[in-house]
Amino acid sequence: MPTPLSERCLWPQTSAETPLDYPALASHEEVDVCVVGGGITGLSTALHLAEKGIKTALLEAGDIPSGGSGRNVGLVNAGLWIPPDDIVAALGKENGERVNTVLGGAPSKVFNIIERHAIQCDATRTGTLHLGHNTKGCQELARRRDQLQNRGAPVTLIEGEACERMTGTSQIHAALLDKRAGTINPCAYTQGLARAAAKLGATLYCHSAVTGIERQGDRWRVLTQNGSVTANRVVMATNAYTEDDWNQVRQHFFTGHYYQLASEPLTGDAADAILPEKQGAWDTRTVLSSIRRDKAGRLLLGSLGKGEGKPLSYLTRWADTIQNHYFPALGNVRWEYTWTGKVAFTPDHTLRIFEPAPGILSATGYNGRGVTTGTVVGEGFAHYIANGDDSLLPLPLSQPKPIRARPLWSCAYESGFSLYHAGQCLRVLI
């Protein structure tokens, strides 16, 4: 049977949040804060500013959402991608432990916002599972468990038969359960943030790409093709979708990608055995594979790398290989959706929060943890603007050096991901 696979993102198709139309900027506005970027970071900033009664305008180049905020896996994870001791090694003890503490509490911030504003995003709070795919991977999970438990995190290493029951596969012998975490439909979450921010008084503009920023006395003028916004403060929340050379955020990350495939809705005993408690999961492979189910029972598989531009038959072959390895009892699966999002990487896998010029705030380098990090950074920016206190941010504001040879970093990562996936398709790396 021909594959029904098409290149479109699943999440907007299944979002229970009604997408709202926001106008394009076509005049001059005067506000306290202008936020550039309508993803999770920008919308969280606008929402928390609006809660404080601070007059805010947000400018988004496309629709809400159009970037990675609506295209990611939808994992509400605690912390960063790397273990807490590695974070301390990269950032120093004080800043490293600050990141561990603030981002360790980030999932609860997300779920509190969802509850407070009645965001319909299919949220689950049963945790996430980090899957040990081989002996070395299981050893790494034990190391992470020890580091996290030493910091009071509610994590448990599940092994043996209990692990097989929780994951639905005999190929995983240990899984690290983080009870702080969960899953969402990220598009619906982003749409809900926009709805809540607008309801509280923030003014949102879509199809209003910023063409430049210029100093105007002690304020900033943010320019678009058909209008402008003058503000005391500007928050640059463009992250991995920063494209313009004038935007200094671009100098502080290199671009990576993440692709996903979603099956048709699955039913029956074999399907019900996969992640029966609805945790999101990812494995310890060199180039990880993510695994989760959606509210309709679809199986979602994803991995680092760019799916756009690759033949659909190649993507299907990769998904079939991973599915047959982990869940052979499913038999043949029909894949319906595939899509790719961008990721802002940094060489040390930690984020950057900085002030490129007086009155301008920026953040980037979430390294695949955008749902929680973006939410917390937005709250932290709003608190800093209102109170002059950066304590709610994962890191203090700094002046990091630009990343050198960013295109080479991107090329090296993408080449490595593609070679690894080719090996998986050939069953060399399974």
pLDDT tens-digit readout, 383-414: 999 999 999 999 999 999 999 999 999 999 99
Q: How far apart are CA 33 and CA 35, in angstroms?
A: 6
For residue 105, pLDDT beyond 50: yes
Domains belonging to the chain, first-starting first, are 6-425 (3.50.50.60)
Tell me the pTM: 0.97
Q: How far apart are CA 135 and CA 57, in angstroms?
A: 51
For residue 1, pLDDT beyond 50: no
Q: How far apart are CA 268 and CA 233, in angstroms?
A: 54
Predicted local confidence at residue 115, as pLDDT:
98
Question: CB-side exposure of 75: number of CA atoms within 13 Å?
Answer: 24
Predicted local confidence at residue 429, as pLDDT:
63
Question: Which amino acid type is present at position 196?
Answer: A
Interval 276-317: pLDDT, tens:
999 999 999 999 999 999 999 999 999 999 999 999 999 999
Burial-class residue 41 by CB neighbours within 10 Å (0-12, 13-18, 19+): buried
pLDDT level of residue 425 (50, 70, 90 thresholds): confident
Interval 113-139: pLDDT, tens:
999 999 999 999 999 999 999 999 999
Mean pLDDT across the chain? 96
Phi, psi of 93, rounded to the nearest 5 degrees = -65, -50
- Residues 85-106 have a mean pLDDT of 98
Query: Please, what is the Cα angle at 254 between 57 and 6, to 5 degrees?
Result: 80
Interval 341-378: pLDDT, tens:
999 999 999 999 999 999 999 999 999 999 999 999 99
pLDDT level of residue 424 (50, 70, 90 thresholds): confident
Identify the bridge partners of residue 129 per DSSP, sorted by sequence position: 177, 281
- Residues 91-103 have a mean pLDDT of 98
Predicted local confidence at residue 186, as pLDDT:
98
For residue 430, pLDDT beyond 70: no
For residue 4, pLDDT beyond 50: yes
User: Percentage of the chain surpassing pLDDT 90?
Assistant: 93
Paired tokens of 3? 């594959």
- Residues 130-154 have a mean pLDDT of 97
Query: Please, what is the Cα angle at 65 between 60 and 67, to 5 degrees?
Result: 85
Preceding amide of 65 cis, omega within 30: yes
For residue 245, pLDDT beyond 90: no
Please, which residues have CB within 8 angstroms of residue 137's CB and are 6 or more apart in sequence?
131, 174, 283, 284, 285
Q: How far apart are CA 380 and CA 245, in angstroms?
A: 26
